[in-house]
Each structure stands twice: as C-alpha cells, then as structure tokens.
Amino acid sequence: MAEPPTEKTVPPWLYKLFTGHQYPYVRRQAKFSNREHKPGEERPEPTRAEIDAKFWEIFPRCWVKILEEVKTGMIVSFVELGTYPPGGYQDLIDHPEEFLAKTYGKKKIKVNFYDGENFVCTINFKVGGWTGHEGH
C-alpha cells in the first residue's frame, strides 16, 4: 500500500495564479497579516514561507464561478455557467481543460476564484478546440 503524501500540493498553474504578482490578494494578505512593523514605515514584502502559509490558509476556503465569454458585436459579456463550493472542484484543478470540455463543451471560459465575497484571481481557457466566436 502506498504511503499518503506528507506534503500538500497543488498543480503549479494554480499556485502561480494565486501567489504571482498578477493577482495580489494572497500576497497582500500575507503582507498585512500579523507582521511587526513600525507605524509610518513601509511594510516589508512577505517571504516565500509567509506567502505559502497564507496560500494554504486561503485556497481551501475558495469557491469557484465558471463563466462563458460571449461576444455580441463589439460587446463582450459573461454568462454564469456554474459555481463550485470550497473543496468541490478537484477535477477542475487536476485537469482543467478536460473537465471544462466535458462539463461545458467548446467555449471560451473564465474561471474566477473567490474567498468569501472577495475576488482572488481569474484564469481564461479556450476549451475543447474553441477557435472563435460564431459569425467571425
């Protein structure tokens, strides 16, 4: 029988999405958490360990909203396709393209992650051979 992994892991794309500079939510939470600083002084940037700790605090409580990008003329809008509760989207994390294609078909899809009411990050997928909006 295989030993269960002792270290928590997520796919690299997900970790980078949450902790990279494009979406500062996790980084900012780490920067302004219970760190000592002198009033009036700039807070130091969080360390990798502080960012990791904050990621593992925030990610497990995040829920997901799936949206389809719909282009009508020059207007781009988004139609909500579904939501998933915290811990309820492991297939999406492990195999995003396959999960989205199987569940929603060929579409241009936006996946938003939220911590409660707070937007955390988003990623776009061109799913299942999606090549363009109809009529173009």
State in Å, rounded, how far the first CA of the chain is from the last one: 54
- Angle of helix 12-19 versus helix 48-58 axis, rounded to 10: 100
What confidence tier does 4 reach under pLDDT thresholds 50, 70, 90?
A: very low
Q: Which helix (H) or strand (E) holds 54?
A: helix 48-58
CA–CA gap between residue 17 and residue 76 (Å, rounded): 23
Query: pLDDT by residue (tens digit) across 67-104?
Result: 999 998 999 999 999 999 999 999 999 999 999 999 99
**pLDDT of the residue at 135:** 43
Q: What is the mean pLDDT of residues 14-31?
A: 94
Q: How confident is the model at residue 42 (pLDDT cuts 50, 70, 90)?
A: confident
The CA distance from 101 to 122, in Å, is 18
pTM of the model: 0.84
